[in-house]
Structure 1
Amino acid sequence: MSATATITPAIVEALYEQALCLAEEARLVFDDERDGRDSRLALRATPAEADRRVVLGTEALRTTTRMMHALAWLLNHRAYFAGEMSEFQLRRFGRLPPPQPESDPADLLLLDTRARDVVDRSRRFYARVARLDSAWRAHFAMQPAAVHRLRERLGAAFG
């Protein structure tokens, strides 16, 4: 029998702290990347620099969106554990959106190593939260085998 994920307030709080730190680090890294370039040079940017700027903007948006989705999921679970949200509300409204599309590896090579590292860590973090969400939701799914065993026990008891 497989064990379902038990999500505890301590796990949610630890993940929430990690998410806040990673989101702040992503903001700093992408702001440094954007601000590190002289805005006057943007008008005379080479095609390669223009491509890099597009990739930078795209990855900044993807990373920020990924982290905000994870933070929203964690905030919903915090509200549930604080008694501000029912289990039904959490199951109905606390879904984790699907992950962002994968980036082209060649595009990522246009970014510096700090930015690539933040993108990669945000993906891994999101995957961790997605695994928790999936396991937590599987706990509520109808398990036909369990229903059949219950019917068999009821049939044996009353049959």
Structure 2
Amino acid sequence: MTSTQPENEDQALQEKLRLSEQIVHLTIQIRQQEERDDQERLLELVQTKGQAWVDLLQSLNVTALHVLSAIGEHEPIKGIQIARQLGITKGAISKVTRKLLEQELIFSERLPNNRKEIYFRLSQKGREIFKWHQQLHPQLEEQGRQFLLRYSIDELQLIVRFCQDYLNQG
């Protein structure tokens, strides 16, 4: 037995629990950091548009940006569809869309053949933010690829397996 291996099953379980907790904490930190970076890069893009755009963008949280993206990618789209796509509650979507409506970044409509359900579309201002946000994705993906090149194939396969398992757990 090597010095790094736990001496018994109880110690092994404790170490697995400790490492699992650390991984969960780190994945949350990674997601939060990526969201902050995304917001900062978007702010850099709109600097040239003037202070009103900067102020508008700073008033939006990451969820609002994701809702704008979901609407821009699938408009017209219902709130329930946005909630499913983003994995958040209908109540959260209602709150965010209400704010986006007030800021005139989206508008709601009822389709002629379906007067019951409300659909969302981007306004011209919302479309501008959506386009800026979409411009960031290739840059972020390339940075991610460059970062991952430091790992071996075996390590990358483990990371892929971990991510797939993590996403498929619930």
Compute the TM-score of the two structures, normalised by the length of structure 1.
0.30
The structure with higher relative contact order (CA 8 Å, sep 6+) is: 1
From the two aligned structures, give the one with the greater strand fraction.
Answer: 2
